[in-house]
């Protein structure tokens, strides 16, 4: 049986409903109270609390508010709406989820429940699987998206293109093949080629290749794709894997300017280093680049009747660091081999490749009574030292000066960081798929997420935020700003901290005052 009591606190009288019950643990009667309301002193009426002002839920808000504004500002939402009008909300939510959480897609539903998405979205594991499959089946729509998105990127002056490997345990995907794995994994793979536009540094499009396809053979079709995307009058920035006489002739025929490093395995590279060894130590060839002393020599050369300009750079300070590192590794590998027992020379070489990759050609191997011993090859080590901190860049643009050439080539670091982001930040390093459609759909979602992540990173670099934060730390700080929904449906935000205000201002996003 329950009854009511009045309790005066200060000048107010509060009414509680009291219910008695028997506590079997303490073996004694106890009471529990339920607050009923406040009694009006004049009329004696009990005023119940306004249920509409009771919080119904509190959800993470600040980080997704930032991403939504960035997606709007760079035009990503507009292009998604044009290409996928019926999936716009789902694709935006899934791409933001990958940036914010970097977890498998099947965990998106519990994330959506604690994140303020304004309108509820069905993101069950089954629904996401259907979306991924649907994305993978509509190649023509994905191509339309690439074209619309590239058209929105005004003022493209350079194109960076490179390829990375994505491994998988799947046995059901025909694109998975054995090939050169850039991460050293002993698994079948697909190759992902990514096109990035400069100066914004945002992904434009991508291509998927069977795992056995070599980088050098992909360039001709990429030139065709760029023509379809409407990209004209640009400079191609490529890595050494794309070097071939045929590719250089193709770019010359298409009147495409390019910058790429010359592989040290070529006879031309050996000749240039040998010819200019003295000049690369002459004070007459010295200059400063971003606070570092460097040396530079330029020579016009012919590659299969195509004239290009070879720029040879040497960084003496970094050479000293690399020589110290090399000698330490040489001494270490000698001691390790001498301290172990091996049955065959092949076992020694396999161990050396594991501990010190590509070191086998630096030593002769002899067998003695105590075991195997390494003998240094003077010429091989000297050749390696001579190449240290030397870079040979070739270009068909005679107007490029040394500083501008280095600036252009070092922009490829943007793409290398994108590959790291795909594998480490967006949960895309190991493909967990069972069909080509699922693979294509999954990679398209990763591509959308990479656009958002790249813009985040670009602004952080521009505003010098990397001195104090990582991308994850920025998002975690903003995540603390929450949206509280009341029973009456109204929403308010928790207090905005100084750090959160500073971050929104740096990203030039309006300070949120209400949702």
- Output the pLDDT for position 311: 94
Residue 64 pLDDT greater than 60, yes or no: yes
Average pLDDT of the segment spanning 177-183: 53
- Output the pLDDT for position 138: 93
- Output the pLDDT for position 56: 66
How many Å apart are CA 191 and CA 439, to the nearest integer? Answer: 12
Q: 500 or 17, which is more confident? A: 500
Please write the tens of the pLDDT for every residue from 287-300. Answer: 998 888 889 999 99
How many Å apart are CA 302 and CA 299, to the nearest integer? Answer: 10
How many Å apart are CA 497 and CA 480, to the nearest integer? Answer: 9
Alpha carbon 242 to chain centroid distance?
Answer: 22
- Output the pLDDT for position 11: 76
Report pTM.
Answer: 0.75
Give the 3-state secondary structure of 291-345: CEEEEEEEEEEEECCEEEEEEEEECHHHHHHHHHHHHHHHHHHHHHHHCCCCCCH
Quote the mean pLDDT of the chain. Answer: 84
Q: Kindly indicate the confidence band of residue 393, based on its pLDDT and cuts at 50, 70 and 90.
A: very high
Taking the CA atoms of 135, 141, 143 and 149 in sequence, report the sign of the dihedral they define. Answer: negative
Among 207, 215, 165, CA closest to 190: 165
- Output the pLDDT for position 256: 85
How many Å apart are CA 373 and CA 352, to the nearest integer? Answer: 12
> For residues 9 and 17, is the Cβ–Cβ distance under 8 A?
no
How many Å apart are CA 94 and CA 449, to the nearest integer? Answer: 8
Among 208-212, 297-301, 342-346, which stretch is predicted with the lowest mean pLDDT?
Answer: 208-212
Please write the tens of the pLDDT for every residue from 110-163. Answer: 999 889 987 778 889 899 999 999 999 999 999 999 999 999 998 888 999 988
How many Å apart are CA 431 and CA 190, to the nearest integer? Answer: 9
- Output the pLDDT for position 51: 53
- Output the pLDDT for position 318: 76
Among 354, 371, 352, 350, CA closest to 363: 352
- Output the pLDDT for position 299: 93
Q: Kindly indicate the confidence band of residue 177, based on its pLDDT and cuts at 50, 70 and 90.
A: low
Please write the tens of the pLDDT for every residue from 257-266. Answer: 899 999 888 8
Q: Kindly indicate the confidence band of residue 476, based on its pLDDT and cuts at 50, 70 and 90.
A: very high
Residue 171 pLDDT greater than 80, yes or no: no
Residue 52 pLDDT greater than 50, yes or no: no
Collect contacts of 314-318 with beta carbons under 8 A, ≥24 apart. Answer: 314/280, 314/281, 314/389, 314/390, 315/389, 316/281, 316/389, 317/292, 317/293, 318/292, 318/388, 318/389
H-helix or E-strand spanning residue 35:
strand 28-39
Residue 327 pLDDT greater than 70, yes or no: yes
The phi and psi torsions of 188 (rounded to 5 degrees) equal -65, 160
Residues present in the chain in total? 515
DSSP characters for 89-131? HHHHHHHHHHHHH---GGGHHHHHHTB--SS-----HHHHHHH
The phi and psi torsions of 15 (rounded to 5 degrees) equal -105, 135
Q: Kindly indicate the confidence band of residue 511, based on its pLDDT and cuts at 50, 70 and 90.
A: very high
> Which domains are delineated in the chain?
2-49 (no CATH), 58-137+463-505 (no CATH), 140-263+398-434 (3.30.420.10), 318-387 (no CATH)
């Amino acid at each position: 049986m329950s009854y009511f009591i009045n309790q005066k606190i200060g000048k107010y009288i509060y009414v509680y409903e009291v219910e008695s019950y028997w506590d079997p643990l303490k073996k004694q009667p106890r009471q529990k109270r339920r607050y009923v309301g406040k009694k009006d002193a004049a009329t004696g009426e009990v005023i119940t609390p306004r249920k509409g002002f009771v919080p119904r839920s509190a959800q993470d808000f600040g980080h997704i508010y930032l991403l939504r504004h960035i997606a709007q500002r760079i035009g990503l939402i507009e292009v998604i709406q044009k290409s996928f009008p019926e999936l716009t909300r789902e694709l935006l939510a899934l791409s933001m989820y990958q940036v914010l959480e970097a977890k498998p897609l099947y965990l998106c539903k519990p994330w959506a429940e604690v994140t303020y998405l304004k309108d509820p979205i069905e993101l069950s594991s089954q629904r996401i699987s259907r979306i991924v499959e649907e994305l993978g089946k509509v190649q023509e729509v994905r191509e339309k998206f690439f074209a619309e998105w590239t058209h929105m990127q005004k003022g493209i002056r350079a194109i960076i293109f490179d390829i990375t490997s994505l491994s998988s345990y799947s046995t059901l995907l025909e694109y998975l093949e054995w090939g050169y794995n850039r991460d050293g994994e002993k698994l079948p793979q697909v190759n992902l080629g990514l096109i990035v536009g400069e100066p914004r540094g945002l992904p434009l499009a991508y291509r998927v290749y069977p795992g056995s396809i070599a980088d050098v053979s992909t360039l001709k079709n990429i030139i065709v794709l760029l023509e379809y995307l409407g990209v004209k009058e640009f400079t191609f920035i490529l890595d050494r894997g794309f070097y071939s006489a045929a590719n250089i002739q193709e770019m010359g025929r298409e009147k495409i300017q390019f910058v790429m490093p010359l592989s040290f395995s070529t006879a031309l590279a050996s000749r240039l280093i040998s010819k200019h060894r003295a000049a690369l130590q002459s004070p007459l060839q010295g200059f400063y680049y971003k606070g570092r002393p460097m040396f530079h020599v330029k020579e016009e050369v012919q590659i299969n009747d195509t004239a290009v300009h070879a720029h040879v750079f040497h960084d003496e300070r970094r050479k000293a660091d690399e020589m110290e590192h090399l000698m330490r590794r040489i001494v270490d590998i000698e001691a390790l081999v001498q301290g172990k027992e091996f049955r065959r020379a092949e076992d020694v070489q396999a161990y050396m490749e594991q501990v010190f990759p590509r070191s086998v050609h630096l030593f002769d191997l002899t067998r003695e009574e105590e075991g195997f011993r390494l003998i240094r090859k003077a010429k091989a080590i000297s050749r390696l030292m001579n190449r240290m901190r030397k870079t040979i860049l070739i270009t068909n643009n005679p107007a490029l000066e040394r500083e501008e050439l280095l600036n252009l080539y070092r922009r490829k670091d943007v793409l290398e960081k994108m590959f790291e982001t795909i594998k480490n930040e967006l949960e895309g390093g190991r493909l967990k798929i069972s069909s080509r459609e699922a693979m294509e759909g999954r990679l398209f979602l990763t591509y959308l997420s990479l656009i958002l992540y790249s813009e985040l990173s670009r602004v952080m670099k521009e505003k010098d935020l990397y001195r104090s934060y990582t991308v994850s730390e920025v998002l975690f700080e903003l995540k603390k700003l929450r949206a509280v929904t009341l029973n009456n449906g109204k929403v308010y935000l928790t207090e905005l901290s100084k750090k959160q205000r500073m971050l929104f201002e740096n990203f030039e996003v309006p300070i949120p005052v209400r949702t």
